[in-house]
């Protein structure tokens, strides 16, 4: 795999986990590996989840853009 594909996959995973964590957090469900965020305030946890999704979109955009055009 080349670097662009790896970064696109990383961006997609961040986007997916950020978005799903936000939705599941509203329902009262959490991912086990993100459980440490529950020790923070609910607003901070929500902002971190949204930040993960936003950073995932940015990474995907940067990885999939053809900069030579």
Express each pLDDT in 35-51 by its tens digit: 888 899 989 999 999 99
pLDDT tens readout for residues 3-37:
899 999 999 999 999 999 999 988 988 889 888 88
Closest CA to 57 of 1, 5, 9, 15: 15
Domain positions in the chain are 8-64
User: pTM (2 decimals)?
Assistant: 0.84
- Please, which pLDDT band fits residue 61 given cuts at 50, 70 and 90? very high
Does residue 1 register a pLDDT over 80? no
Three-class SS state of 52: helix
């Amino acid at each position: 795999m080349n670097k662009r594909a790896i970064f696109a996959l990383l961006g997609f995973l961040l986007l997916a986990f950020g978005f799903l964590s936000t939705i599941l957090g509203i329902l009262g469900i959490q991912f086990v590996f993100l459980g440490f965020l529950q020790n923070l305030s609910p607003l901070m946890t929500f902002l971190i989840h949204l930040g993960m999704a936003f950073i995932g979109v940015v990474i995907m955009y940067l990885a999939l853009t053809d900069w030579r055009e």
